[in-house]
Amino acid sequence: MSNYENEPVPAARRVGRKLNIRVLYAIAAVAAAVVILILCMTVFFNVSEVEIRGVTLYTEDQIVNVGGIYEDMNLVRTDVGRAEKRLTDNLVYIDEVKVTKEYPSTVVIDCKEAVKAADIEYEGGYYVLSSSGRILEADNPEPTGGIPIITGFSFYTAEDKIENGEELSESEIFAYRAAGAKLRSADDYSDKIILDLLAELDKQEYENVRTIDISSRANIIMNIDDRLDVKLGSSADIEYKLSYFKEVMKKLVKDYQGTLIYNGSENGVSAIPKDKYLGKPNFAKDPEVSDDSGVEDAEPADAALDAENGVNGDDSSSAETADDGVQSWDGGGQADYGWDGGQSWDGGGQADYNTWDNGEYYGW
């Protein structure tokens, strides 16, 4: 009689047993992971603290309610991207927001509040613009005060859509300049000029800028402290021009009143006293903007802020005053008002001043 207990187990059967055990382990591991996940999404990691940073204009309750984040909600299931979008879409004075999870139970909301950069005067109302290019307040009856007033700007009014047959209501058209909207101009370019100019003014720490007139993109005029009219010309090389003007203003006597005119990188800046400047009408045309680049290039670039141009307070620059009281800074100390052909004051107070900008002629 055979002894079955002592007979060896076939190899195939042993392999099958091992596979069955491994499958059972795998199923158990998956089941445990599912249970843990369910517990994490229901019982564990519930929000017990919401930390809000960088907010002074809104209450914590407003941030929490608008963001849709509250205590006892599950941290794992919290959609931080959705919360960020809700906050920036609904609270116009929040420019940027970052929501992060800190396990086991904290949500941190970091906010960057909007900064009022300028008032845009438009059709009798004033629109508060943030430094990031967002409309913060719409159609105020009075300017904010303490920030520049921008004139000569036209908002986008969807004329292209209307011409293409779209029917838009008044509220839909107004939405392009309502609180919370991004700044957009009728010409799709003046908005970029404004934001670049405001950013550079802030970077170079200009103070007491009262108004900025962009009625002509080729002849931007800025008023400082109600005593200086600064003629920037076009928006090209704005960083260079503003740094040049700032150096010139340091050389003027205190409380100087008059007009500063940028004459090009080779001819420098003219300072004309208020009682000498007649302000002849300007008939400048806006430079053409190429469709492919979308960038205005009205003046040749000249990035060199060196001693030849009298920038950065170099002692080699010079400023002289002619008999008519007009000062000019051109690096060489030229005192008479006029470079192209030696045009200057005519003795009767009339200034025939000419300059050229990329082929465009401007006369004062």
Mind listing the pLDDT tens digit of every residue in the chain (364 residues)?
A: 555 555 555 555 555 566 677 777 677 677 666 655 554 555 456 888 899 999 999 999 999 999 988 777 888 788 899 999 999 999 999 999 999 988 888 899 999 999 999 999 999 999 999 999 999 999 999 999 999 999 999 999 999 999 999 999 999 999 999 999 999 999 999 999 999 999 999 999 999 999 999 999 899 999 999 999 999 999 899 999 999 999 999 989 888 999 999 988 788 888 899 877 655 544 344 445 444 433 343 333 333 333 333 333 333 344 444 445 556 655 433 333 333 333 333 333 333 333 333 333 333 3
Token duo for residue 129: 């613009």
Q: Are 155 and 138 in contact (CB under 8 A)?
A: no
Q: Are 87 and 97 in contact (CB under 8 A)?
A: yes
The set of residues, in sequence order, having a beta carbon less than 8 Å from that of 82 and lying 6+ positions away, is 68
Amino acid 77: pLDDT: 81
Residue type, 127: Y
The set of residues, in sequence order, having a beta carbon less than 8 Å from that of 225 and lying 6+ positions away, is 208, 210
Amino acid 268: pLDDT: 84
Report how far residue 352's alpha carbon sits from residue 333's, in angstroms, rounded to the nearest whole number: 20
Report how far residue 144's alpha carbon sits from residue 206's, in angstroms, rounded to the nearest whole number: 18
Dihedral angle at the C-alpha atoms of 158, 159, 162, 166, nearest 10 degrees? -20
C-alpha to C-alpha distances, 133 to 15, 120, 128, nearest whole angstrom: 70, 11, 10
- Burial code (b: 16+ CB inside 10 Å, e: under 16) for 159-169 equals eeeeeeeeeee
Amino acid 105: pLDDT: 84
Token duo for residue 122: 């438009």
Residues in the chain, overall count: 364
Torsion over CA: 243, 247, 249, 250 (sign): positive
Q: Are 306 and 243 in contact (CB under 8 A)?
A: no
Amino acid 12: pLDDT: 56
pTM (2 decimals)?
0.68
Amino acid 126: pLDDT: 98
Residue type, 196: D
Report how far residue 62's alpha carbon sits from residue 97's, in angstroms, rounded to the nearest whole number: 14
DSSP state of 344: -
Side-chain half-sphere CA neighbours of 316 within 13 A: 7
Amino acid 325: pLDDT: 56
| CA 105 and chain centroid, separation | 36
The set of residues, in sequence order, having a beta carbon less than 8 Å from that of 287 and lying 6+ positions away, is 217, 218, 234, 296, 297, 298, 357, 358, 360
Report how far residue 259's alpha carbon sits from residue 282's, in angstroms, rounded to the nearest whole number: 14
